[in-house]
Amino acid sequence: MVSPTLEDVRALMARATGDEKHDESSTSTLDALWVLYDRVLRVDPADPDWAERDRFVLSKGHGPVAYYAILAARGFFPREWLDGFMRHDGRLGSHPDRLLVPGVEASTGSLGHGLPMAVGVALGLRAKGSSSRTVVLCGDAELNEGTNWEAILLAPHLRLGGLTLLVIDNHSSSIATGSWQDRLGSFGWPVRVVDGHDHNALETALRATEPDRPTAVVADIPEGEW
């Protein structure tokens, strides 16, 4: 089987129509998600529930089209499902549903809950003695929610080295004002800020982990380049 390309994913995204309001929310995540599923995450489309898989949580769930397209391109579910996006007889809703979509680890809705869930997932995996990673993707505006900062405070205290926070910074929020290193680093998180379209830089940053501290990667995407 020929491996899918990013252009394949873009073509698949075009099949999922009906929620153009959130196009930028999805397209801004595309490069980071592609790098995760093409180069970083340990997953098996033939066995989505494989016990040793890495876990990924799309906290920014209101922009799921890029995520769905990548899962379809990787073979988690038939590409034809994208044609039924947001239809009453389809399985791909405006937010991912883990009970309906193979490869989805967490159902998301209200913003601000993905990172707290990911802390719990990472803690549970460690309790099982698993080496699997947990990666959670949040938007910059989402970090205005207080639940995120409770999780940001807790994760270093728990020494969750298996947890990575991936922030898509498309400059849509005042939370991005100032240095991400100062904001997250003051809570004990090592922070790497990279060009959100640079696949090699994203891969290097996402592969860098520490045994006893959670890590943060900020994918910087200037306004207008979503």
At 83 the pLDDT is 95
Write the DSSP assignment of 156-172 as a string of letters.
HHTT-TTEEEEEEE-S-
- The residues pairing with 57 across neighbouring beta strands, listed in sequence order, are 136
Of the candidates 80, 70, 93, 79, the residue with the CA atom closest to the CA atom of residue 19: 93
CA distance 14 to 200: 25
- Which CATH class name applies to 6-220? alpha beta
Q: What is the pLDDT of residues 83-107, one digit of tens each?
A: 999 999 999 999 999 999 999 999 9
Residue 225 pLDDT exceeds 60: no
3-state helix, strand, coil in the chain (%, to 5): 40, 15, 45
Q: Please give the model's pTM, rounded to 2 decimal places.
A: 0.93
Mean pLDDT of 162-176: 83
Which residues, in sequence order, are CB contacts of 140 under 8 Å at separation 6+?
A: 167, 168, 169, 170, 171, 172, 173, 175, 176
